Amino acid sequence: MKVYGITNCNTVKKALDWLKANHVAYEFHDFKKLGISKEKLEEWDAKAGYEKFLNKQGLTWKQLDPAVKESIKTKDDALKLLQEKTSMIKRPVIEKDDFLFFGFDEAIYERELK
C-alpha cells in the first residue's frame, strides 16, 4: 500500500497514526520531497476524476491569483497545476491494489485497509 501526502499536514498525520495503530504497513511518498509525476496524476484522474483530488478548500487554492483559478478549464490545465503545486492535492492519497481514496475517513479505512 502507498500513502501520498505531506508530512506536516494534520489530515496526513491522522491517517498515518491510524495506519500505525492498526498495524497496516505502508510506503510513504512525500509530495514536497518527491513531487508527483504527470503519469500518476493521469492515472488518478482516469480512476476518480481530477475534481475528486483538486483541493479547492485549502490555503494554496485560496491564495492563487484569480486569473490562475479562471485558467483551469480542462483536465490538462488542472493536472499541470497540481504537478506544480502538489499541496493542492487532497491528502492523503491512499493506493492499495484497486482501492484509491483521497482524505481521511476512519470508517472507510476500517473497511478497506484492515
Using DSSP bridges, classify how beta strands 2-5 and 27-30 pair: parallel, antiparallel or unpaired: parallel
Q: How far does the chain reach from its first CA to its final CA, in angstroms?
A: 11
Q: Establish whether 56 is a catalytic residue.
A: no
Active-site residue, from 3, 4, 9, 31: 9
Confidence class of residue 50 from pLDDT cuts 50, 70 and 90?
Answer: very high
Q: What is the pLDDT averaged over residues 56-78?
A: 93
pLDDT at 95: 97
Q: Which residue has the cell 504537478?
A: 83
Q: What is the mean pLDDT of residues 82-97?
A: 96
Given pLDDT bands bounded at 50, 70 and 90, which one contains residue 114? confident
Average pLDDT over residues 3-26: 97
Q: What is the pLDDT of residue 5?
A: 97
Residue 50: strand, helix, or coil: helix
pLDDT band at 82 (very low <50, low <70, confident <90, very high): very high
Sheet holding 27-30, edge to edge: 27-30, 2-5, 93-96, 99-102
Return the amino acid letter for 111.
Answer: R
pTM of the model: 0.93
Q: What is the DSSP letter of 36?
A: -
State which H helix or E strand residue 32 sits in: helix 31-34
Distance CA(35)–CA(104), nearest Å, equals 21
